[in-house]
Structure 1
Amino acid sequence: MESKQTKNQSNSLFKIILLFNVIALIFCIASQTVNVYRYAIIGAIFELFWLPIMAIIILIPFASIYYWYKDKFKVTSQFFYLLLLYDLLILTFYILT
């Protein structure tokens, strides 16, 4: 029974981290390709969310590595693929800059 709870907790953590990763990716792409200051309200929203997004970008790899460590560094672990997605986020950010 406990392994099932651990599996469910791991799956929900994966979904949460994946959601934050996708939000950060969309934010980075949008901030590099769209003029966010064209409209005042969009610029205000951008200014409001840039610091939390940067914190997410910094914390995602630590969370992914920690949970990948808990999965004993299996290549089939979901958190390994989150790290690969994070690499895509960083590459996208630097390519667009």
Structure 2
Amino acid sequence: MPLEPSEVKHIASLARIGLTDEEIEMFGDQLSQILEQFEVLNELDTSGVTPTAHAGGLQTIMRDDLTEDSLDSEDVLKNAPRREGEFFRVNAVLEE
């Protein structure tokens, strides 16, 4: 089923993309072809497939959240080009 120009305009506005009328027609055709390819998936029998959150068999890749000693603030500030007390001094990035 072809996408309506209003649907293509809506998708473009969500992506913050300005399109000409020619581009709306061209991308509408292309998006319709892509969606037709996905329709093939609706024809697959997935009744014997266990639902998963992701296709791979990944285990947790997060490491344990362990505390450990950190650098001493004086050692860190030795490399600072400018400092103010225990802080790095940087140029202002916002106007007052």
TM-score using structure 1 length: 0.26
Which is higher, the Rg of structure 1 or of structure 2?
Answer: 2
Identify the structure with bigger relative contact order (alpha carbons < 8 Å, sequence gap 6+). 1
TM-score using structure 2 length: 0.26
**Comparing both structures, which one devotes a greater share of its residues to helix?**
1
